[in-house]
Amino acid sequence: MNNFYNEPPFAERLDEIVSQIKPIPSVIRESFINEILTCYFGNQYGVSDAALPFYKKMIQNLTPKEIDYLLRLLINKNEEVKEILRKSWKKQLLTELIESIMPNIKGNDDLTNIYKQFLKQYKITNS
């Protein structure tokens, strides 16, 4: 049960560091976003409930360029996203992720188009 006790301190510290470095340097953007998504969605055993708020905060604070990368990454990770959509708890996390980046998408036509492409590709309804 919730055997992720060692993850929250690292997630918290990463959040502290990331909040001081904006935007994420392009050299590490890809790795950073990949790792945040990996941690956010957890593994077959679940997620670290105590670390999840830190991952959510980091995702919410992404810049438009970082959101662009995140959405394109999700569009290109077809099989991985389909696997996420097969598990109700991961699908809920994906829904929360999409809702959390909405404020950063509004008013940006390019991001809105990529966002709509993502929703259409995975047949996700926009709430």
Helix axes 52-60, 88-105, angle to 10 degrees: 30
Distance CA 28, CA 70 (A): 13
pLDDT tens string 17-46: 999 998 999 999 999 999 999 999 998 888
The per-residue pLDDT for 127 is 57
Distance CA 58, CA 39 (A): 12
- Whole-model pTM: value is 0.89
pLDDT tens string 92-124: 999 999 989 989 898 999 999 999 999 898 888
The per-residue pLDDT for 45 is 85
DSSP symbols for 34-78: HHHHHHHH-BTTB--TTTHHHHHHHHHT--HHHHHHHHHHHHH-H
The per-residue pLDDT for 2 is 58
Mean pLDDT over 58-76 rounds to: 93
1 versus 50: the higher-pLDDT residue is 50
101: closest CA among 55, 51, 41, 44? Answer: 55
The per-residue pLDDT for 48 is 93
Tokens linked to 113: 């188009």
Mean pLDDT over 43-57 rounds to: 92
